[in-house]
Amino acid sequence: MDVGWSGKAAAVAAAGLLLTGVVSAGSAGAVPQTRVMFSLEFANAGESGDPEPYGAVVLRLSDRDRLLWRQGPAEDIPSQWRYPATGFAVEEVEFPEDAVNEVCAYVRERDEDSDDDQLAAGCLPYRGHYEPYVIEGQDGQVTVNIYGIG
């Protein structure tokens, strides 16, 4: 006997509701989804034109680092003084703002005719959003702007 499309849809909907119930029943330990809105600025004194930054910018938690931005040294590195070019980037993370201890940047800059520059190497304590985090290196600095975490 054919229950018809609407019957199948109802059965699927019921299964969906059941599944939803199971998920929410176990959600006490579920991880929250948090949106991090940020931008990066790369400064390299003496560089002609925009720098070619590579490396990583992370949020440091007590037990791990969470990448916000990464550029591999072996890849084709775009020239850019800011990431993204306008506005802000969004990363979905699985922890609340309270869990962030530090903002870290380990960024170098590709130079074809000399050794690569160091733009940033280190961390700053997290003091909340709407704060620019200016992380220094031997040859420059990286500013991590965090516009919101929530």
- Contact between 53 and Ca ion per CB under 5 A: no
How many residues bind to Ca ion according to rule CB under 5 A? 6
Nearer CB in complex with Ca ion: 52/104: 52
- Residue 45's CB is within 10 A of a number of other CB atoms, namely 9
Shortest spacing between CB 119 and Ca ion, in angstroms? 9
Per CB under 5 A, the list member of 39, 44, 123, 133 interacting with Ca ion is 44
133, 125 Cβ separation under 8 angstroms: no
Instruction: Please identify, among the stretches 25-33, 86-94, 111-119, 128-136, the one whose residues bind Ca ion according to the rule CB under 5 A.
Output: 111-119
6, 13 Cβ separation under 8 angstroms: no
109, 119 Cβ separation under 8 angstroms: yes
Interface residues for Ca ion in 55-94 (CB under 5 A)? none
107, 53 Cβ separation under 8 angstroms: yes
Shortest spacing between CB 144 and Ca ion, in angstroms? 20
Q: Which residue of the chain is nearest Ca ion when measured via CB?
A: 47
Q: What are 30's two structure tokens?
A: 């579920």
- Contact between 52 and Ca ion per CB under 5 A: yes
Look up tokens 């006490």; give the residue.
28
Nearer CB in complex with Ca ion: 47/149: 47
Distance separating alpha carbons of residues 53 and 127, to the nearest angstrom: 25
Residues near Ca ion (CB under 5 A) are 44, 47, 52, 109, 111, 117
